[in-house]
Structure 1
Amino acid sequence: MRSFFEECGCSRTTRCPHPYTIRFRDALGEQREEAGYGTQDDGIERLTQIYAEKRKTAPSVAEARRELGQQTVAEYAKQRRPRQRRMTEYSTGWHVDSSVNVHIIPRLGS
């Protein structure tokens, strides 16, 4: 799904100075909008660029992005921590875990 439109109530529908908005589905399948395109051609060009990027992306990469997009910060931190280079568990590892659990997750949310 993709579309472009102009949100205004002007009596002059042609040559209206209001910007165009585009609507499309992102990699997760959620509907997104981008606004601020001066002409229809600018909006169409951006839609074309978005869909060209989607077509170029390999299916495995798209699936990985979908999975990462659905993870919470806490889940990502738990998965990433063991993949990091070997840390000295009694100091650096504890400090990283503490920072994530005490500072990052409460501020960003789960």
Structure 2
Amino acid sequence: MVGTFYKVRYKGPGGNQVEESGFLTQDEAIDRLTNTYKAKKASPANRARSERIEKCGQMRLREYTALWRAGQRHLAAASLSHLDSLLQHHVFPALATRRMSAFDHNVVDGFIRTMERNGVGLAAQSNAYDKLKSILLDAVRSGTPGGDRRWQGSESGLCSGQSPRQPSRHGTCNGTIGDPPAR
């Protein structure tokens, strides 16, 4: 077979698709892809992200929240006081010792159900949920929960602008964190 060459396609460093051709055998093409993959995995950015995921994924919610709270410089003193109160009275008693890599929609749903069972008012449920959502979304954006996307849907399963007992205002978040359970 004269003139038959193998092509390989992969994502380049900038995220663009790269195509290379001219490989005489399939083994040469596979070797090229393997070398490209190894070089990409060894890059400093991927190593730093992997280290951050491993470090933060093993953190407890209380530890991660302390880091997250330090970054909330835009909050006024009264807002920080309200945040601390929500964390101490609602979020930490239920979730403080849970590892960040162990969160999923079932954990958050269980948190909401526990608040309901304990007779927490709807406003406090909504506020506590919103703060937990903010913390978890920050963790997802930084790649923390195991580096995967276990929360599906908009913004990794947490519907923006949605409280525990409010239906989705956007109509796109069916069955994700924040939707009331079907009864």
Under TM normalisation by the shorter chain, which class is it? 0.3 to 0.5
Q: TM-score, normalised by structure 1?
A: 0.45
